[in-house]
Amino acid sequence: MDFFYPNWINDMWRILGSLFFGDKHHFELQGRKQFHKKAIAEFCIEKGIALYDTASEVRRLKENASDKFLEVVTPTDIETLLAKIPHCRAIVTTGQKATDTIVLTLGCKEPAIGSYETTKINGQEIRFWRMPSSSRAYPLPLEKKAEFYRTMLTDERIL
């Protein structure tokens, strides 16, 4: 899947399926271990959810998906990116590496998991949320993770 959170054992699309449709399997392609990219993209557009990486250039130090072995070579230019989407009111990270990258790039405080810090970007106040990782390697049941996401999505008036 040429999109975000494509790994079958990552629960991002199950979390959102559960919260928005009452069905954690909503974005799964039936009978296949894949997510429905077109349905996810349409959903994100409808809800005003933009997805992007916190780094435009990375180096994998080992042949696996673990952020522990990921080196950020070039962080994303968040200020330039947000100038292109001026209605954006929040940035949400879903892992420690992404959180660390935003903190270093913007020079802001790191939020506690499930909460946010307010920062200014291009003169606009932005909420910087830190969510629990949707990876199953993160030791929290899907339902508990979904409650953190429910709070954020409700506060941001998306849910």
Q: How many helices (H) and strands (E) does the chain have?
A: 5, 5
pLDDT at 64 over 80: no
Partner residues linked to 70 by β-bridges: 60
Per-residue confidence (pLDDT) for residue 61, from 0 to 100:
87
Looking at the chain, the whole-number percentage of residues with pLDDT higher than 70 is 99
Per-residue confidence (pLDDT) for residue 1, from 0 to 100:
54
Per-residue confidence (pLDDT) for residue 65, from 0 to 100:
67
Say how many residues make up the chain.
159
Whole-number average pLDDT of the chain:
94
Higher pLDDT, 70 or 124: 124
Per-residue confidence (pLDDT) for residue 116, from 0 to 100:
98
Its pTM stands at: 0.91
Neighbours of 144 (CB within 10 A): 11
Integer angstrom CA distances of residue 156 from 90, 91, 95, 107? 8, 11, 19, 23
Q: What is the mean pLDDT of residues 81-88?
A: 94
Partner residues linked to 90 by β-bridges: 127
- Rounded to 10 degrees, what is the CA torsion of 96, 110, 78, 97? -10
CB 57 within 8 A of CB 74: yes
33-58 burial by CB neighbour count: b if 16+ within 10 A, else e? eebbbeebeebeeeeeeeeeebbeeb
The residue type found at 145 is K
Looking at the chain, the whole-number percentage of residues with pLDDT higher than 90 is 83
